Amino acid sequence: MFELAEMAVIEEIKREVERRRTFAIISHPDAGKTTLTEKLLLYSGAIELAGAVKARKKQRHATSDWLEMEQSRGISITSTALQFDYQGCRFNLLDTPGHQDFSEDTYRTLMAVDSAVMVLDGAKGIEPQTKKLFDVCRMRHIPILIFINKMDQPGRPPLDLLDEIEKVLGMGAVPKNWPIGEGPDFQGVYDLEQKQVLRFQRTVRGQQRAPVWVGEIDDPQFAEEIGGPAYRQLCEDVALLAGAGFSFERERFLKGEVAPVYFGSAIHNFGVEPFLAGLKELAPPWGPDEQPRPGRARDRGLLRIHL
Ligand SMILES: Nc1nc2c(ncn2[C@@H]2O[C@H](COP(=O)(O)OP(=O)(O)OP(=O)(O)O)[C@@H](O)[C@H]2O)c(=O)[nH]1
Ligand SMILES: [Mg+2]
């Protein structure tokens, strides 16, 4: 029989485990993992001013590229573990290097996480290193969330990107939000579940949170302000998506069979907060594996000591 004090400790441990979200950010080099990491820190309140991967003289560098060589070259070389709290959850985030020379480090990191964030460049889609890392995730049945980044640059039509995820990765892709405007005219995202428009404003070098207007798609002022072509495209896409019958099943997500997809621009802080909210809602806490994950349990303990 457990004593009362022991029971309280066990309950406390259970609560602490429940509120943890341990995930890695993975992708082909340069898709924007470190930039997104920095913006997740900004939106969680862990930092007040976001740094840049390639910082100017007196500007802050991105928190997770802390090695001098990373700062001078503007690439990530090692995985960096960062911890922050957001709305009662404790996030353990591992920003990984994309370059294949350092991929051993990324593979090891993937043994220790409960989910992965896959960052895609909206113009490039699935690149070779992304595919390789995806294969590792699939082998380990790691649930994946997708952030399609760099929507502020001319890119591919969002439906093409979803199609590519399904065809190349063989995984279902369910959009949670949808881009408003494209390339330099990218203005925000439409939340497909809440049926809400989130229209962001840029800030100087994206160092601070982007002011956001939240409203209805049929608000005449919104329609006027975003301009005719962007508005028509958004309405057409939303109607098309409603008819396409996308449905997100949590069980399939947890098995790594289907991924929720979010759009945004990490550099301008567009779509970062909805993505952070999605992570909180969907990324699973640690739990007994439903399916065996090769190589996982042994390494997990070791890494957790440091987190
Ligand atoms: N236009 C645009 N550029 C971005 C965006 N996000 C990141 N970048 C730029 O893309 C480049 C690569 O960004 P990183 O965040 O270092 O990419 P990474 O995936 O961490 O790269 P590695 O760690 O070296 O694999 C940098 O010059 C960023 O400023 C974005 O949303 N839009
Ligand atoms: Mg990086």
Count structural domains, the chain.
Answer: 1
**DSSP designation for 4:** H
Residue with the bigger pLDDT between 261 and 304: it is 261
For 268-279, how does the pLDDT look when each residue is reduced to its tens digit (9 = 90+)? 999 999 999 999
User: Is 14 a domain residue?
Assistant: no
- Pick the closest to residue 213 from 242, 247, 190 (CA basis): 190
User: Is 4 a domain residue?
Assistant: no
Split at pLDDT 50, 70, 90, the class of 76 is confident
Residue with the bigger pLDDT between 98 and 186: it is 186
- 121 alpha carbon – ligand 2 mean position (Å): 13
Q: Which residues of 215-249 are buried (b: 16+ CB within 10 A; e: fewer)?
A: eeeeeeebbeebeeebbebbeebeeebeeeebebe
Instruction: For ligand 1, say whether the CB of 265 is within 6 Å of any of its atoms.
Output: yes
User: Is 15 a domain residue?
Assistant: no
In this prediction, residues 74-79 reach a mean pLDDT of 83
* Per-residue model confidence (pLDDT) at position 288: 65
The C-alpha angle 80, 86, 88, rounded to 5 degrees, equals 125
* Per-residue model confidence (pLDDT) at position 266: 98
Instruction: For ligand 1, say whether the CB of 73 is within 6 Å of any of its atoms.
Output: no
How far is residue 176's CA from residue 282's CA, in Å, rounded to a whole number? 11
Split at pLDDT 50, 70, 90, the class of 284 is very high
Strands 258-263 and 144-149, how do they pair? parallel
User: Is 260 a domain residue?
Assistant: yes
User: Is 242 a domain residue?
Assistant: yes
Q: Name the residue of 26, 53, 203 whose CB sits within 8 Å of the most ligand 1 atoms, as the mutation to test its pocket.
A: 53
Closest ligand 1 atom to Cα of 264: 31
Cβ neighbours of residue 40 under 8 Å, at least 6 residues apart?
Answer: 84, 91, 93, 272, 275, 276, 279
User: Is 176 a domain residue?
Assistant: yes
User: Is 2 a domain residue?
Assistant: no
Beta strands in the chain (DSSP E): 20-26, 80-86, 89-95, 115-121, 144-149, 172-175, 177-180, 188-191, 196-200, 212-215, 258-263
Instruction: For ligand 1, say whether the CB of 152 is within 6 Å of any of its atoms.
Output: yes
- pTM (predicted TM-score): 0.92
Instruction: For ligand 1, say whether the CB of 98 is within 6 Å of any of its atoms.
Output: yes
Q: Residue 51 is part of which domain span? A: 21-304
User: Is 50 a domain residue?
Assistant: yes
In this prediction, residues 75-95 reach a mean pLDDT of 91
Average pLDDT, the chain: 89
- Give backbone dihedrals phi and psi of 164, rounded to 5 degrees, phi first: -65, -40
Ligand closest to 54 (CA) is 1
> Which domain CATH number covers 32?
3.40.50.300
Instruction: For ligand 1, say whether the CB of 75 is within 6 Å of any of its atoms.
Output: yes
Q: Enumerate helices (H) and strands (E) in the chain, giving the number of each.
A: 11, 11
* Percent of all residues in the chain with a pLDDT value above 70, rounded to a whole number: 92
3-class DSSP state for residue 223? helix
For 2-32, how does the pLDDT look when each residue is reduced to its tens digit (9 = 90+)? 688 888 998 888 898 899 999 999 999 999 9
Instruction: For ligand 1, say whether the CB of 106 is within 6 Å of any of its atoms.
Output: no
